[in-house]
Each structure stands twice: as C-alpha cells, then as structure tokens.
Structure 1
Amino acid sequence: MNRRLFIHRSAILLTLASAGQRVSSFGNTAKNVAGYSIKQFEDEGLAHFSYAILADRKIVLVDPARDPRPYYAYAKEQGAKIVAVVETHPHADFVSSHLEIHRDQDATIYVSKLVRAAYPHQTFDSGNTLKISDRVVLQAINTPGHSPDSISVLLNVDGRDAAIFSGDALLIGGVGRPDLREYSGEQATQREKLAHQLYHTVQDVYAKLADEVVLYPAHGAGSLCGNALKGAKQSTIGAERTQNFAFQRQSEEAFVRQILNDQPAIPAYFPYNVEVNRKGAAPLLTSLAAIPLIGAAEVAVSPAALVDTRSAAAFRQSHFPGAINIPERNKSESWIGTLIEPKGSFYLLVDTKEQGRLQLEKIAKIGYEQFVKAVVLFGDFVAQQSEDFDQAAFDRSPQEYFIVDVRTTEEAKEAPVFKGAHNIPLAELKQHISELPLDKTIVVHCASGYRSAIASSLIHESVPKAHVWDVGEHIKAYKSAVN
C-alpha cells in the first residue's frame, strides 16, 4: 500500500469552508466612505481571528493562519494583491503562513525587532508606519504583556484612528495570558514582569484611544491564550472600557494578581509553536504531501506513539494497545498538541482517506504534521477491545471505585456529579497518572464523554495493567439526576 496522501497544489482553490475558516466582512460602510475594507477570517477550532485590510487593490494581512489558501482566494476575488503580512507576535497556539505568503506573493513581512525573526522581514515597532493608500496608514505600537515582543497595529484613515488590531494583548472582555513565554529559569518572575507590562499597555495605550475605535483581536472565546473571554468577534474601545476588567479602576498589584490567578495549564505545543513562528513554517501542501498513507497491518513495531482519531465507540471495539484516543471534533487539534509532546513521531489513525486529509490539515495548524510517521487507515482491523462501563455494578456501590473527574477545576466546583470524586483536569492528567491506584477500578468521567474517552485511553497507555472504565455519555443521566 504505502502510498502518498492525495494532497496536491491543484487543491489550492478549495472552498473556504473546506479550508477550515469562516469569513466575516466588516468595514463595508468605511469602504464606501474612505476606500478600505476589513475582512475577518475565523478558525473556530483555535478561536483564532486573522484579517485582510484592503485598500487601493492592495491587501495587508494581519496574523494569518497556517493555510494561505483562503487569503489567496480572497485576493483573487477582489482583484487585489497581497503586499504585506503583519505579525503581532510569534504566536504560541497556531502556526502562521507568513513565510509561505512572502515566498508565493513577494509580500513583505512586518514584525517587531524584539521577535528576533529568522525569516526575511521589515522591523515594525512604535514610530514605524505602513502606508497602504493615500488615506489608509497602519501604525505599529509596542504593546508588551502577553509576550515581550507584542505589537498592536493602529489603522488610521484620513488622519483619524479607526481600528486597532491588538493581537493577543487586548481581547474582548479580557487580556492575553502573560504566562506563556518563559525565557529564563525564573518562570514566576518572568510572568509577573509581563503582567506588570500588560497593566501599563492597557493604561498607557488602549485606554487612551477614542471610544469609537474598533477592536479586532487575534482570538475569541475558547482560546487558550486568554481566559473567560466574551463570545463576540469584534468590539470597540468604548465597550471594553465599560465591560473589560482590565480597564477598571484598580491598583497595578490588584491587576497583576487577578490575571495570574487560576490560569490553566500551558499546552505542550505552545513553546514549539513560538519557535516555528520565529523561524517560519514550511509550505503547507508540500509538507502534507510528504506523509505516507498505510493500512493498519503495515504499522511497524516502533517507539512511535499512536494517536487514534476515530470515535470513542469505534476505539472501544478495536484499537492498538497503547493508542491514545483523541476523537475528531472541534478543538481536537488543541488536545493533540496538549497531550502529545512535539518530538519524536506518531501514527495518525483514521477511518477513511478523506478523514486523514482533514486530520492532517487540522494538526498542521499547530505544526504537528512534521511529527506524523504515517496516516493509518484502520478499517476493519481486529485488535484490542476495551471493557465497557458496567453501570449496574457501579451504581450498586460507587464508593468502591476510584472516580476521576477530568473536567476543569471550575467545572468540577460548580457542578459536582459524584461524591468523593478526584478532580484531575485532563490537561494535567499525564503528570498525575502515577498517583492513581491499581487496586481499584478507575472510573473516569467528564461533562459529555469526550474528555473521558481521551483520559481513559491515556491512563491505559501509561499503565496497561490499570483497570479503567470510561463513563462516557452515561454521564448525562447522572448529571440530570443531580440537577
């Protein structure tokens, strides 16, 4: 079998929906008045927003995603040329296509000198401007805090501040996390320093903008780069002044304490993505086309990990021993990046060839395609079977089982389901598996059955002798009974 995945350059004009991004248009009124428009591209899985600023048939992209095809399609549709890419910082939660766009479109990349970028670029810091047309100018502003090298991009039209692209520094209802970029061994000191910088960025930059300035962040609700964000896709400085805690009157120390409190675990892939973005990623389709497609019988015995993206039900029926089940769904690429270290190699197990292509495109968003040894068509291959959850036995004496709740700490506190359950958030489970007892059946649950499927396979992968039951979708009945 051992054939190459069917991913070719002829696929470059795939629809935007198939490329995994939704497109929203903003600034149509402004276009009629001032000769410019802003188009927002959304990746729901990563809660990522990127932008195309169009003026005078020239396009400047801000924080583009890994797949450049939607931007190329938009430029063609508008009869415009992509002339520049602005990166607000080296992103931790996704890989950007800035280098590929530079090579394909001869577009200049603009980024802060503090990034120490290894790709061809033009430095873009406070005092620097980028003129798109006689009426539309972009101005760089250093806005450290989420990272030391963050910039925001202020859109000026006819001498008036119209919009600001804030990257991860200012988000809707909150601010970016200051704990993701550690350059020294003193991690607590570094994140506290960035938190103080973020306070001054809010007070000295964003708070001084006019209320009507439109806010376009790089992320929305659900992003791992922020916490407790609003679900809106755009805002204004005026709205943030009233609803965003960062603008409220408080001391610098109180602000720092609040944004450093209860931050979730940092996914394993974040530091890796920062470095990939600092160097520039390989062309997407070329990288994907190099990955072979094989059958389950061809999987070689090796130290490579096994990431099974089939449904939890299919996994329970038959799976390779030691495989980790991360079923395909929205945000599954984040879980792969959280639980699989960016090193070594792994097999990616799927049901169909098409699912293999889609899965590769998803993990390529975080630069993980280079770790895929092969995509494996599992088919009807007969392997190991998992024991189903024995609900009757559990209900007779739940106190005899070691119950693990893998929801977040906040979820577990707000809506407990089983008395005496041990809360270990899924993102932190790998660090605590050795603490689990082997003399009891371990019963794992979450809110819907998705995270518990991942968790139970993760425990089996680390401790094959452990006796584990996944409550799965049965949890819905238990939650209803509690409520």
Structure 2
Amino acid sequence: MVIHQFYDKGLAHASYAIIRTGRMVVIDPSRDPQPYYDFATLHEADIVGVIETHPHADFISSHLEIHQTTGATIYVSKLTGAAYPHESFDDGDVIELDDIKLKAINTPGHSPDSICILLQNKNGHDAAIFTGDTLFVGDVGRPDLREDAGNITAKKEELAKQMYHSTRDKLMQLPKNVIVYPAHGPGSLCGKNMSADLQSTIGRELRENYALQLMDELQFIKTLTTDQPFAPKYFGYDVELNKTGAPQLQKSISSIDRHASISDNSTLIIDTRPKADFRKGHIKGSINLQNGEKFETWLGSIVSPDEKFHLIANNHNELDIMIKKAAKIGYESNIKAALLTPDNANEKSDNLDLTDFQTNPNNYTIVDVRNWGEVNDGTLFTDPVIIPLPELRERINEIPTTNKPIVVHCAAGYRSAAASSIIAAQIKSVPVYDLGEAIVDIAKINI
C-alpha cells in the first residue's frame, strides 16, 4: 500500500493518493490534476476514484476533470447536493481497494456535508484517517464558512455544536495510533491554530489539540467561534464552483487573451511584478500584488469573484505562473487579458524619506493594513488608521485626506505594497508611501 501526500504551500493545501495493487484513489485534489496523473504513471496504477471530503472554500478541486479524463468515480456525501456525476459516500459506505477498505464517516462541523475517510488495513485494523477540514494538526475546521454558501447553510454556532459531537463521538473514539492526514497545514484560513506538522495521530491530538480537550458543549462553541481569521471574498464562490465542478484547467487558461492592450483604466489591473519594478513605472491605478507565497489568497481577498482584471508580469514564464495561481481559486475566468509590462507603464511611486518619518511620525497619516488578529496584539504607532488589506478597497474613504502624507505598513512589506498602490490610485491630494520591509526593524525597536 502507498499513501502519498501532495502539498501546495501557497494555499497550505494537502491532498492524497492511496494506491493498492495497481488501483489509486485521490482525496481532495488541487486544481491541476497533472501531479496525480504523473504519480499514477510512476506507480503503474489506474486512478479509479476521487473522494471530496466537502465542497472546498479555499481552492478549486479537479475532481470533475479527473473523472472526465480517467473515468474515475467521484465520491462525496449525499448532503453536498453535487451537480456532477458521483456516488454518495456517507456513514456505512465503503470503497474496497483489494484487501484494504476506505470507510466514510460523516463529520459535520466545518461544513454540514463534511466527511472523513477511515482507512482499514489488510488486517482489518484502523490505520489512518483522512480528515479533510474537520481535524487538523493542533486545530479543527472553522465553523463560519457555510452560513451563506452551499446547498445547505447553517449558522456558525450550529456547526460548532456539530463539530463538538463529530470530534467527541467519532474521531476521538478511534485508536490512538491511527494516523491523521488533514487537508490543510499552517497558513490556511480554514482554521486558526494549525501546527507546522502535516500529519499526526489521534493520540497526539487528544493530548495537544486545544479543541479536543475537556470542555462542555457551550464552552467549545464559544472557543471555536471566537478569533477565527478573516474569510477572503472568494470563499463562497469556490464552494459553489466545487459543488458543480470546475472546467478543465488547460482548456480554461488557454482561452485567456494574451494579445490585448490596456486602452483604458475601467478594468482592474493586477500588476504582479516585484515592487521595485512597479515603483519605477506602472499603469496608473494598478494594484501591485506581487508574485509571492500567498498570492492566491490575497488575490481572492482583494478582488471579488465577479470582477474582471488585467494581469501583468515581467515575462511569459512568470505570466504563466500567475495565471495558474489565479486558476487555483477559480479566477482564471476573471482575467480579461494577461500581458507583459506595457509601454504606457510610466506612473511612478513616491519615495519615503525614512529618516524624516522615524523622526517625525506625527507628521504623517499612518495606515495599518494588518489583519485584526495582528492588530489586537498591539499597534506599532500611535493612533494609526486601521484597515486590514481585505477591507481596504471598500473602506478607503475612512483615510483622512488632510495635508499629511500617508504611510502604509503591514508586518513585513508584502501587503503594504498592495495597499499603498490601492490608496495611491484613489487619493491624489497627498503623497502615499509604502513603509515596506523597514517595518521589521521598526518593530524590533518597539519591542
């Protein structure tokens, strides 16, 4: 038997392949199916099944494409209301791969239609469990993403109550040596306290996971519904797209226009170049969302699912990478055109006099675009304007338009580059500066 984990660090997403005697089942695949095809070829296996633990909010799955390409059966809970060809996979249902079994366990909590998959080895012993977004290493799935998405909606308090019973009545009853394989790791927005480890055991989680410790139902609900991270704009959109099934990846991205020019600024422009290049010259009004580890998350946090945008990169290879990153969250269809740096990219960014700012911070309007969880741990300046980056485009009118220049900061410089470009496109009366990486040294001094 082979169990292999595929891990996408950008979305902190783990998917899995299970192979037994030449037959392979994939669990929670990412948008690009090619790694699973390659793995099957390497092991001379046929992909016979794809299991979806729930309709994912944070990435687009290739379950339908894998089915269309290989004929593999898609398995999903009947509660999902899936609009693609599938077989229901709920309590009591079993997939047999020769002498091992994959058993469905309904575990509502993160979503009403969540399932886990228990693997029983050839000796009939419980050996591993694929927990989707129900149980993570050090955490459980957040319960607030299905209040307005999917065919079944539920308030976060009700889902937290269901998570309490899914963990106590089902997962915590498994043998302590059962290996836990979750769908996410640290950095995912599907939980709030994930460990750096990408697998665990039931025994370890019983000892170390805050959500599995002794507490009553009401205390658990309060704990689970408090201090969850923000939910990007694209989450509900991805739930719906995963419920129907996304178009095939290569066909979808090949239809993107790569020859158009930007003749007006009526369409949003996402410039993915390094900020040093952006500052030297960019199209007026564009947003500098750099190619980085969390590009997909920030794209889907700043841009709404119904917004079209132009995508800019330095060269064709980088453009291909950025298109595929956008496609991970189903945003390739939002790309009106993908192009290299155009000739009219001649708008320059203002340069901050860092010495003057550090000497006279009160002479500037300081905008803090960190997330609320970071802000709640303390601010680095006196009386900043606090607007987290995902909220900035909607709340930009809250920034005072006095005669003070504006300085934007985050925690390390990535978000402030995007935020300062958003603000500079809207506020022309004063200079807008990006504090950038200098915030790291300033934070050390304040500590």
TM over 0.5: yes
Encode CA deviations 1:48-67: one digit per residue, 9 max, x unaligned: 00000000110000000000
Match of 1:342 in 2: 305
Match of 1:205 in 2: 170
Q: How far apart are residue 422 of structure 1 and its match?
A: 3.3
Match of 2:325 in 1: 362
Match of 2:244 in 1: 279
- Whether contact under 8 Å (2:112, 2:154) holds in the other structure is no
In the aligned structure 1, how far is the partner of 2:186 from the partner of 2:107?
21
- The one-letter code matched in structure 2 to 1:372 is I
* 2:244 corresponds to 1:244: no
SS at match of 2:322: helix
Q: How far apart are residue 479 of structure 1 and its match?
A: 2.2
- Whether contact under 8 Å (2:49, 2:75) holds in the other structure is yes
Pick closer, same or farther for the CA change 1:461–1:192 going to 2, 3 Å: farther
Q: Map of 1:92-111 to 2, 5 A cutoff?
A: 92-111=57-76
* 2:445 corresponds to 1:478: no
SS at match of 1:293: coil
Q: How far apart are residue 123 of structure 1 and its match?
A: 0.6
In the aligned structure 2, how far is the partner of 1:340 from the partner of 1:62?
29
Q: Which of 408, 415, 428 is 1:444 aligned to?
A: 408
SS at match of 1:432: helix
In the aligned structure 2, how far is the partner of 1:340 from the partner of 1:206?
37
Match of 1:216 in 2: 181
Match of 1:330 in 2: 293
In the aligned structure 2, how far is the partner of 1:104 from the partner of 1:423?
48
- Whether contact under 8 Å (2:385, 2:399) holds in the other structure is no
In the aligned structure 1, how far is the partner of 2:428 from the partner of 2:59?
33
SS at match of 2:162: helix
In the aligned structure 2, how far is the partner of 1:309 from the partner of 1:101?
30
Match of 1:390 in 2: 353
Encode CA deviations 1:82-110: one digit per residue, 9 max, x unaligned: 00000000000000000100010000000
Pick closer, same or farther for the CA change 1:344–1:429 going to 2, 3 Å: closer
SS at match of 2:157: helix
- Whether contact under 8 Å (1:215, 1:234) holds in the other structure is yes
Match of 1:318 in 2: 281
In the aligned structure 1, how far is the partner of 2:430 from the partner of 2:108?
46
Match of 1:143 in 2: 107
Q: How far apart are residue 276 of structure 1 and its match?
A: 0.7
Match of 2:264 in 1: 301
Encode CA deviations 1:272-296: one digit per residue, 9 max, x unaligned: 000110010111111111112237x
In the aligned structure 2, how far is the partner of 1:150 from the partner of 1:477?
44
- The one-letter code matched in structure 2 to 1:472 is G
Identity of aligned residues (%): 46
TM-score, structure 2 length as denominator?
0.95
Q: Pairwise CA RMSD of aligned residues?
A: 1.8
- Whether contact under 8 Å (1:351, 1:379) holds in the other structure is no
In the aligned structure 2, how far is the partner of 1:391 from the partner of 1:344?
36
Q: Which runs of 5+ in 2 are unaligned?
A: none
Q: How far apart are residue 69 of structure 1 and its match?
A: 0.4
Match of 2:254 in 1: 289
- The one-letter code matched in structure 1 to 2:225 is L
* 2:41 corresponds to 1:76: yes
Q: Map of 1:219-234 to 2, 5 A cutoff?
A: 219-234=184-199
- Whether contact under 8 Å (2:366, 2:406) holds in the other structure is yes
Moved over 6 A (4+): none
- The one-letter code matched in structure 1 to 2:332 is E
Match of 1:66 in 2: 31
